[in-house]
Chains A and B, each alone.
Chain A
Amino acid sequence: MLDKELSPGLQEYLPIVEAILLAAPEPLSGERLGAILEVPTEQAAELLEYLRWQYDAQGRGFTVRRLAGGYRLQTRGEYAAYVSRLAQMRNPLLTTAALETLAILAYMQPCLRADIEKIRGVKTESTLRTLLERGLVEEVGRAEGPGRPILYGTTRRFLEYFGLADLRDLPAPPAEWQAYLAQKEAAPAAEQDD
């Protein structure tokens, strides 16, 4: 098995990074770690990547995952069945309505509630409220115009929840996506005729 090389002088930091990763209650960014260790961000990132490689190579039961712009120590997916026995209950999976709403927000943000309702064809107030409560969605501003309606967007917790490093990791939209966007650009005026 090939050995990954670590830049000289960084070896001694490894156990420290491990300790910090274990204790961190949320994803740790390279910048944050760099500040804690008092090393440049690139070196901090290198340490984190090295640990990730090391755990994989050693077949450990946990792994370092890239989530929400940072790194998090988590159990490996293969052992989920055992780990989940630690607790009786888990947060229920999201409803289809919630997933559709999140999909719209994730790819089109920022959005008005009205925008979402227009696409889904149903009222979305309670679904949005649930998503807000679960911290997956947040207010990101207000739109111009009468009523100054609220604009919504996804949160960092959203990224964590779906195991994404950042929004670019969202699944690629279907083939029709480009045509859809083009058509939206071309006819925004038609939508204001309500």
Chain B
Amino acid sequence: MSVAPYRIHLENFEGPLDLLLHLIKEGQLDILDVPISLVTEQYLAYLREMRRLDLDVASDFLVMAATLLQIKARLLLPKQSTALAEDEETDDPRQELTQRLLEYKIFKTLGAQLGELEQSAANYFARGWYEPLVTSESPPLPDGLDLQDLLAVLRRQAMQRTSAPPQEIKRASVTVGRLVRRILALVRRAGREINWREVFPGRPGRRELVSGFLALLELLRRRRIAVRQTELFGDILISIEESERGRPDA
């Protein structure tokens, strides 16, 4: 028995569990013994209809579709011998889904009850209630000040800006390749072990640090440098690999 398209009302389901509960209720199915094959078919029919009407299907719905299909597949497979993997649900692949459905059902009911409370509570008004309820709570201005004063101060502050002009956001001028060359050059020139911190004079941005670290890893991979640390989270010390010494700059 498949679901004829005209029977699908696209109510606003709160999520895949809501839709499943609806299918179970409409089909008068037993939530503790859900016929997976039937429910999966109906569920997928709903998704298809949503797509057909060009509605956005939230990813959560798709995840559930996959879950249903997985359960269905497991039910179709012959029972595994107990010697194999200790699965959580060796008994019933539907068990986890059933638990989730029961759980959601409880809170769906409680949510509806809260909704009723909300409606009856909304009948009681306290003094001054008709002022906008969702206000942004800005503190009142002290006596003698008004908006104009504040604006004047702000304008003065803005004109006094002596700080450096906003920095440009540099795009990829710190490529990994560049840093590879920089690190190599530094180590070669120093003729000794250098500290990771020396790679970045000044205050490097996060992008630079990440690129730098990638450069370090690349050089390690190519066995052109060696690194060591004297302690956990200590400074990273970089030195040139023996085999690298005679090589030309690359």
CB < 8 Å neighbour of A164 from B14, B112, B117: B117
A91 to B15, CA, bound (A): 25
Query: Is B111 a contact partner of A102 (Cβ separation < 8 A)?
Result: yes
Q: Which residues of A contact B16 (CB under 8 A)?
A: 121-122
Query: Is B125 a contact partner of A190 (Cβ separation < 8 A)?
Result: no
Q: Which residues of A contact B126 (CB under 8 A)?
A: 72-75
Interface size of A by Cβ–Cβ distance < 8 Å?
50
Query: Is B17 a contact partner of A162 (Cβ separation < 8 A)?
Result: no
Within 8 A of B (CB), among A54-83: 63, 65, 72-78, 80, 83
Q: Which residues of A contact B14 (CB under 8 A)?
A: 96-97, 100, 120, 122
A60 to chain B, nearest CB (A): 14
A-B contact count (CB 8 A): 121
CB < 8 Å neighbour of A119 from B64, B104, B120: B104
Query: Is A183 a contact partner of B17 (Cβ separation < 8 A)?
Result: no
Query: Is A120 a contact partner of B124 (Cβ separation < 8 A)?
Result: no
Interface-facing stretch out of B127-135, B151-159, B197-205: B127-135
A148 to B106, CA, bound (A): 28
Any chain B CB within 8 A of the CB of A86?
yes
- Asked if A193 meets B88 with Cβ closer than 8 Å, knowing A99-B112, A122-B14, the reply is yes
A138 to chain B, nearest CB (A): 14
Q: Which residues of A contact B113 (CB under 8 A)?
A: 103, 171
A90 to B133, CA, bound (A): 8
CB < 8 Å neighbour of B134 from A25, A121, A134, A174: A134
Query: Is A102 a contact partner of B114 (Cβ separation < 8 A)?
Result: yes
A117 to B228, CA, bound (A): 44
Any chain B CB within 8 A of the CB of A94?
yes
6 pairs, A vs B, C-beta closer than 8 Å: A25-B128, A65-B124, A76-B124, A91-B133, A93-B118, A99-B114
Chain B residues with a Cβ under 8 A of chain A: 12, 14-18, 58, 60, 64, 88, 99-100, 102-115, 117-130, 133-134
